[in-house]
Structure 1
Amino acid sequence: MVDGTEQAKGFEAATRTGLPVAGYRPQREETIALVNENKAVEERVLRRMDALARMPAGTLEGRWYAIARTQIEQGFMALNRALFQPERAGLPEDAPPAPMAFEGAEAVQVVPPAA
């Protein structure tokens, strides 16, 4: 398990090249380790749910079980996306990026209104 102590002792700012999937970018080893921990926790929860699903008929109400499973899967997916922070994919028909306007020290992208 990765915790603050282990990270401080042995963490090097190594970065891995992202998957060749649009929107994904290189990730730090620390972030990859956190997502892998999340995947293990998710698998344990899903295995618990699988065991509950094997109980005698009528033990679980199917609709609520399905809702719970879906929301757990969505929750872990959202948590991992929060860590990996994928960007939206560009498309061949996209226009070049809009010019940047500066307000103080922050850059703000100027987006033309939709036609």
Structure 2
Amino acid sequence: MGQVLSNLISNAIKYSPNGGTVRVELRAEGVDAVIKVSDEGIGISVDDQQRIFEPFRRTNLTKMSIPGVGLGLSVVRRIVFAHQGRIEVNSAPNAGATFTVRLPLEVYPG
């Protein structure tokens, strides 16, 4: 999970303006642990949100202005799925982004 948090937080910082706020929340919600990482950055269009977790996927805006290869979020998704969790993004262009990870508090074999 360290890699998940590291990737989400570093992305939030990278895509936020200087002096912008990055928020990290952790709480129990029913049978899940919920981690939210929010920023005040450039945001992600609805079209890009559909594919943002694919390997080598970058948004059109970030391809032009911010370095990277587009692997971080695909790695995050694989780690979250390996822990029987799920991840989602809520965003709009120029309105920041919130990535929410939900992990079961108890994992049963089988």
Bin for the TM-score computed over the shorter chain: under 0.3
- Structure 1 length normalisation: TM-score? 0.25
Structure possessing the higher relative contact order (Cα contacts under 8 Å, 6 or more residues apart): 2
Greater strand content:
2
Larger radius of gyration, structure 1 or 2?
Answer: 1
- Structure 2 length normalisation: TM-score? 0.26
